[in-house]
Amino acid sequence: MRQRTIAEPYKIKMVEPIRMTTRAERERAIEEAGYNTFLLRSDDVYIDLLTDSGTTAMSDRQWSAMMLGDEAYAGSRSFYRMEAAMREIYGFQHLVPTHQGRAAEHITSQIRIKPGQFVPMNMYFTTTRAHAERAGGVFFNCIVDEANDPWSDFPWKGNIDLAKLQALVDEHGADSIAYLSLAPCVNMAGGQPFSMANIREVSAWAKQYGLAIIFDATRAVENAYFIQQREEGYANRTVKAILREMMGYGEGCTVSSKKDNLVNIGGFLATNDDAFFRKAKEMVVIFEGMPTYGGLAGRDMEALAQGMVEMVEDDYIASRVRQVEYLGNKLIKAGIPIVRPIGGHGVFLDAKGFLAHLPQDEFPAQSLAAALFVDSGVRAMERGIVSAGRDHRTGEHHRPALELVRLTIPRRVYTNLHMDVVAESCQELWETRSAIHGLRMVYEPESLRFFQARFEPLVPVLHG
Ligand SMILES: *Cc1c(COP(=O)(O)O)cnc(C)c1O
Q: H or E element: which one contains 81?
A: helix 77-89
For residue 440, give the DSSP letter: E
What's the pLDDT band for 391 if we cut at 50, 70, 90? confident
- pLDDT surpassing 70 at residue 461: no
Q: What is the pLDDT of residue 149?
A: 86
What's the pLDDT band for 6 if we cut at 50, 70, 90? confident
For a pocket test of ligand 1, which of 258, 263, 406 has the largest count of ligand atoms closer than 8 A to its C-beta? 258
**SS3 state of residue 191:** coil
CA nearest ligand 1 atom 5, residue? 101
DSSP assignments along 355-382, one per residue: TTTS-GGG-HHHHHHHHHHHHH-EE-EE
Q: What is the pLDDT of residue 175?
A: 97
Q: What is the pLDDT of residue 388?
A: 86
Q: What is the pLDDT of residue 267?
A: 98
- Of the given ranges (79-83, 147-151, 396-400), which has the lowest mean pLDDT? 147-151
- Assigned superfamily of 23-52+314-457: Aspartate Aminotransferase, domain 1 (3.90.1150.10)
The closest alpha carbon to 365, from 403, 407, 422, belongs to 403
Please give the C-alpha separations between residue 138 and each of 120, 131, 165, 179, 306, in angstroms, as whole numbers: 8, 11, 14, 11, 37
Give the pLDDT mean for 172-176. 97
d(CA 120, CA 139): 6
**SS3 state of residue 262:** coil
Query: Is 268 a pocket residue for ligand 1 (Cβ < 6 Å)?
Result: no
What's the pLDDT band for 462 if we cut at 50, 70, 90? low
Query: Is 109 a pocket residue for ligand 1 (Cβ < 6 Å)?
Result: no
Q: What is the pLDDT of residue 190?
A: 85
- pLDDT surpassing 70 at residue 463: no
d(CA 87, CA 421): 41
256 C-alpha to center of ligand 1: Å? Answer: 5
Q: Tell me the catalytic residues.
A: 73, 125-126, 216, 259, 383, 450
102 C-alpha to center of ligand 1: Å? Answer: 6
Q: What is the pLDDT of residue 324?
A: 98
CB 273 within 8 A of CB 252: yes
Q: What count of Cα atoms within 13 Å lies in the side-chain half-sphere of residue 10?
A: 22
Write phi, then psi, for 195 (nearest 5 degrees): -90, 160
- Of the given ranges (204-213, 276-285, 414-423, 442-451), which has the lowest mean pLDDT? 442-451
Share of the chain above pLDDT 90, in %: 91
Q: What is the pLDDT of residue 397?
A: 92
The closest alpha carbon to 254, from 184, 187, 189, 318, belongs to 184
What's the pLDDT band for 443 if we cut at 50, 70, 90? very high
Q: Between these two residues, 207 and 463, which has the higher pLDDT value?
A: 207
- pLDDT per residue over 254-285, tens digit each? 999 999 999 999 999 999 999 999 999 999 99
Please give the C-alpha separations between residue 426 and each of 203, 337, 366, 375, in angstroms, as whole numbers: 42, 11, 14, 9
What's the pLDDT band for 401 if we cut at 50, 70, 90? confident
Domain boundaries, the chain: 23-52+314-457, 60-311
- pLDDT per residue over 16-31, tens digit each? 999 999 999 999 999 9
For 97, other C-beta atoms within 10 Å of its C-beta total 31
Atom of ligand 1 nearest to the CA of 187: 13
Give the pLDDT mean for 346-367. 96
Torsion sign (Cα): 451, 29, 324, 382: negative
Atom of ligand 1 nearest to the CA of 103: 9
Query: Is 101 a pocket residue for ligand 1 (Cβ < 6 Å)?
Result: yes
For residue 338, give the DSSP letter: B
d(CA 56, CA 52): 7
- pLDDT per residue over 47-100, tens digit each? 999 999 999 999 999 999 999 999 999 999 999 999 999 999 999 999 999 999
Atom of ligand 1 nearest to the CA of 100: 7
- pLDDT surpassing 80 at residue 460: no
Give the pLDDT mean for 368-385. 97
d(CA 79, CA 89): 15
Query: Is 252 a pocket residue for ligand 1 (Cβ < 6 Å)?
Result: no
What's the pLDDT band for 126 if we cut at 50, 70, 90? confident
Residue 309's region, left for phi above 0, alpha for psi from -120 to 50, else beta, is alpha
d(CA 420, CA 416): 6
Query: Is 59 a pocket residue for ligand 1 (Cβ < 6 Å)?
Result: no
**SS3 state of residue 91:** coil
Calculate the average pLDDT of the chain: 96
C-alpha radius of gyration, the chain, whole number: 22
Atom of ligand 1 nearest to the CA of 186: 13
- pLDDT surpassing 80 at residue 183: yes
CB 45 within 8 A of CB 410: no
Query: Is 187 a pocket residue for ligand 1 (Cβ < 6 Å)?
Result: yes
Please give the C-alpha separations between residue 133 and each of 110, 305, 338, in angstroms, as whole numbers: 10, 31, 32
Query: Is 267 a pocket residue for ligand 1 (Cβ < 6 Å)?
Result: yes
Give the pLDDT mean for 391-417. 93
Overall fold of domain 60-311: Aspartate Aminotransferase; domain 2 (3.40.640)
Share of the chain above pLDDT 70, in %: 99
Query: Is 418 a pocket residue for ligand 1 (Cβ < 6 Å)?
Result: no
- pLDDT per residue over 196-229, tens digit each? 999 999 999 999 999 999 999 999 999 999 999 9
The closest alpha carbon to 226, from 205, 245, 203, 242, belongs to 242
Please give the C-alpha separations between residue 456 and each of 35, 366, 442, in angstroms, as whole numbers: 7, 11, 7
389 C-alpha to center of ligand 1: Å? Answer: 20
- pLDDT surpassing 90 at residue 151: no
5 C-alpha to center of ligand 1: Å? Answer: 33
